[in-house]
Amino acid sequence: MGPRAEQERGVARFEESVLPHMDSAYNLARWLTRNGHDAEDLVQESLLRAFQAFQGFRGTDGRAWLLAIVRNACYTWLRRNRQQEVTTEFDEEVHTLEGDALNPEKLVLREVDSARVRQALEELPAEFREVLVLREMEGLSYKEIGTVVDIPVGTVMSRLARARGRLQRGLTSRPGEER
């Protein structure tokens, strides 16, 4: 096989492994940056990075691999443009989930206004938004989220619990009320 045929095979493999996950990549970038135009730019940048690094890709999960690249690009962008969104302080009252609380999915199923859900989700710190988006919107397993975010599965589970608790409080508080 000549170099051109090998290159064409590599491009075809990239298109097959990575391009079907463009919607997921945009969705994650959109929720992390909270801006559609920035998300589009970061997904394009991530695709270029992914294409350049694809020759070294040996995995079988192109989706998790691409989402990890998108996440890293978003956090680099956030550190440059919105440093305050990257870090969150630990607050025991905010980060503790009451045992009998309704989870956000049930609240959404009870027809909570989607604009209010979107606003409550956007108000979460980036580390909580990303795990909720990856789990609830993209359907990734805890293990896949751990791979994308580069944290242990136990940390994924605790972040999800804290994120759901904060989202629930954001949905159940009245406008102007302290969360």
pLDDT for 55 equals 83
CA dist., res. 62 & res. 170, Å (int): 34
- Residue whose entry in the numeric block shows the structure tokens 């999915």: 105
Q: What is the CATH number of domain 3-86?
A: 1.10.1740.10
DSSP assignment letter at 18: T
Q: What is the pLDDT of residues 100-135, one digit of tens each?
A: 345 555 544 444 457 777 888 889 999 999 999 999
Confidence (pTM) = 0.70
- Sorted by sequence, the CB contacts under 8 Å of residue 25 that are 6+ apart come out as 43, 46, 47, 66, 67, 70
pLDDT for 93 equals 41
CA dist., res. 111 & res. 126, Å (int): 25
Of 75, 93, 50, 48, the closest CA to residue 130 belongs to 75
Give the pLDDT mean for 137-143. Answer: 92
pLDDT for 175 equals 57
Q: What is the pLDDT of residues 42-89, one digit of tens each?
A: 999 999 999 998 888 877 788 999 999 999 999 999 988 876 555 544
Which backbone phi and psi does 50 adopt, to 5 degrees? -65, -45
CA dist., res. 88 & res. 129, Å (int): 12
Q: Which long-range contacts (CB under 8 A, 24 or more apart) does 102-107 make?
A: 102/168, 103/164, 103/168, 104/132, 104/136, 104/164, 104/167, 104/168, 104/171, 105/136, 107/168, 107/171, 107/172
Which amino acid does the sequence have at 73? A
Number of neighbouring beta carbons within 10 Å of residue 58: 6
Please report, for the chain, the start and end positions of each structural domain, with discontinuous segments joined by +.
3-86, 96-172
Q: Which CATH architecture has domain 96-172?
A: Orthogonal Bundle (1.10)
pLDDT for 165 equals 93
